[in-house]
C-alpha cells in the first residue's frame, strides 16, 4: 500500500487513489482492504498504478464513479462527470418546480439526468445524446439505478417542446486548450470537451433551440468556462432571455449560467 502511495505522491497525484486502486484489484470496498494483501492483488494494483501514472483517468480504471451520491459506471470515451457539475445541479434543484418536464442536453453517462430524477422522482426527465457509446452507457446506468429517464439519440433539444427546465454541461473548452490540456483528457471524447475557437460552438445553437423548447417562464441552466460564460450571458440577454445570472463555483470561478424565457412569450 505504501509503495502505491509513494509513487502517486511523487507523480503529484492523491495518495487516496492508491487505496481505490488496491480495492479495485481486490474486488472490495476501500474500507474492506485487509492487512495482508495477496501477491496477485498487489501485482494487479501496481499494473493499474502504471496506467494511472501514464495519464489514464482514475474513473476509467475503477469502472465506476460517484456523482451526486449515485454510483455511475464509467467507460473510456464517455465524458467523466466532474464535481463542478454537481454545483450546477444543486442550483437547479433550488427551483420550486412541480412535476416538471426536464431535459438534459448531451447527457454523456447520464449523470445530470439521473441525479435530477433521483432527487425529483415526480419529474419527467428526458436526455439527448448523439454519441451511441455514451447513450448506451447512460441507459445502462439508468437500468442499474432503477431510474426512469427517456433517452433520445438526438442533438441538442431533440425537438422537444413545453420544457420547464433545460440542464446542460455542453462542450465548452476553446480549441486552443488542447495544447495545454492534462493528458487525462486525451482519453475522453474530444467532441464532449472542445467547442470551437471561443468554446461556444455548441452552447450558442443550444441556447437558440432552448428558446423554442422552453415553455414561457421555463429555465435553462448551463455549465461553462470562466473565459466565455459572461460573453454568452450578454448574448442571451440580447436575445430576450430574462433573469440572466452567472454563479461562481466553490473555487470562486464564474461557472454556471441560468436564464429564463419570458413568461409573456
Residue-wise pLDDT for 85-140, tens only, equals: 999 999 999 999 999 999 999 999 999 999 999 999 999 999 999 999 999 999 99
Instruction: Please answer whether residues 102 and 126 qualify as being in contact, where contact means their C-beta atoms are separated by less than 8 angstroms.
Output: yes
**80 shares a domain with 50:** no
Task: Pick the range with the lowest mean pLDDT from 28-37, 95-104, 153-162, 229-238.
Answer: 28-37
- 215 and 110 in one domain? yes
Residue whose C-alpha cell is 476501500? 30
Percent of the chain with pLDDT over 70: 95
Tell me, what CATH number does 189's domain have? 3.40.50.150
CA 15 from centroid of its chain's CA atoms: 24
Is the residue at 89 inside a domain?
yes
Rounded Cα distance, 88 and 239, in Å: 23
Region of poorest pLDDT, from 6-20, 131-145, 232-246:
6-20
CA distance 189 to 53: 20
Residue 43 pLDDT > 70: yes
Cα(165)–Cα(222) distance, integer angstroms: 11
Q: Find, among 172, 134, 175, the residue nearest to 151 by Cα.
A: 134
> How many independent structural domains does the chain possess?
2
Q: Looking at the structure, do residues 22 and 116 belong to the same domain, yes or no?
A: no
- Which pTM does this prediction carry? 0.92
Task: Please report the pLDDT score of residue 42 as a whole number.
Answer: 80
Give yes or no for a contact between 244 and 233, defined as CB atoms under 8 angstroms apart.
yes
The reply to whether 142 and 252 lie within a common domain is: yes
Q: Is the pLDDT of residue 38 over 90?
A: no
35 and 129 inside one domain:
no
Phi, psi of 134 (to 5 degrees): -65, -40
Query: Within this chain, do residues 156 and 105 fall inside the same structural domain, yes or no?
Result: yes
Give the mean model confidence (pLDDT) for residues 173-197: 93
pLDDT in tens, 192-219: 999 999 999 999 999 999 999 999 999 9
Based on the domain organization, do 139 and 13 belong to the same domain?
no
Based on the number of CB atoms within 10 Å of its own CB, is 81 exposed (0-12), middle (13-18) or buried (19 or more)?
Answer: buried
Triad 202, 157, 241: Cα angle to 5°: 75
Determine whether 94 is exposed, middle or buried from the number of CB atoms within 10 Å of its CB (0-12, 13-18, 19+).
exposed
- pLDDT tops 90 at residue 157: yes
Domain shared by 116 and 192, yes or no: yes
**From CA 192, how far away is CA 85, in angstroms rounded?**
14
Say whether both 124 and 206 belong to one domain.
yes
Residue 128 and residue 10 share a domain: no
User: Which backbone phi and psi does 68 adopt, to 5 degrees?
Assistant: 55, 35
Q: What's the domain range around 47?
A: 2-54
Residue 66's contacts (CB-CB under 8 Å, 6 or more residues apart) are 72
Q: 222 vs 58, 142, 166, 203, 247, CA distance in Å?
A: 26, 22, 8, 8, 10
Share of the chain above pLDDT 90, in %: 77
Residues 133 and 253 in one domain: yes
Predicted confidence (pLDDT) at residue 12 exceeds the cutoff of 70? no
Amino acid at each position: 500500500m505504501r509503495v502505491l502511495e509513494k509513487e502517486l505522491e511523487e507523480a503529484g497525484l492523491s495518495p487516496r487513489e492508491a487505496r481505490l486502486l488496491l480495492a479495485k484489484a481486490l474486488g472490495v470496498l476501500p474500507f474492506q482492504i485487509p492487512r495482508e494483501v495477496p501477491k496477485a492483488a498487489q501485482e494487479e494494483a501496481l499494473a493499474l498504478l502504471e496506467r494511472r501514472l501514464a495519464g489514464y483517468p482514475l474513473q476509467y480504471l475503477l469502472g465506476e464513479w460517484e456523482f451526486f451520491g449515485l454510483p455511475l459506471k464509467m467507460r473510456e470515451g464517455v465524458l467523466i462527470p466532474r464535481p463542478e457539475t454537481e454545483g450546477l445541479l444543486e442550483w437547479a434543484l433550488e427551483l420550486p418546480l412541480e412535476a416538471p418536464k426536464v431535459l438534459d442536453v448531451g447527457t454523456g453517462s447520464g449523470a445530470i439526468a439521473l441525479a435530477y430524477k433521483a432527487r425529483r422522482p415526480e419529474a419527467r426527465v428526458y436526455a439527448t445524446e448523439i454519441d451511441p457509446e455514451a447513450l448506451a452507457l447512460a441507459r445502462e446506468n439508468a437500468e442499474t439505478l432503477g431510474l426512469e429517464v427517456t433517452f433520445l439519440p438526438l442533438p441538442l433539444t431533440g425537438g422537444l417542446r413545453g420544457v420547464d427546465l433545460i440542464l446542460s454541461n455542453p462542450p465548452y473548452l476553446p480549441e486552443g486548450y488542447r495544447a495545454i490540456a492534462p493528458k487525462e483528457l486525451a482519453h475522453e471524447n474530444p467532441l464532449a470537451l472542445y467547442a470551437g475557437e471561443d468554446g461556444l460552438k455548441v452552447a450558442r445553437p443550444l441556447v437558440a433551440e432552448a428558446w423554442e423548447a422552453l415553455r414561457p417562464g421555463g429555465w435553462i441552466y448551463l455549465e461553462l468556462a470562466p473565459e466565455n460564460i459572461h460573453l454568452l450571458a450578454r448574448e442571451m440577454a440580447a436575445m430576450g432571455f430574462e433573469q440572466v445570472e452567472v454563479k461562481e463555483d466553490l473555487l470562486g470561478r464564474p461557472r454556471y449560467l441560468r436564464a429564463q424565457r419570458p413568461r409573456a412569450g
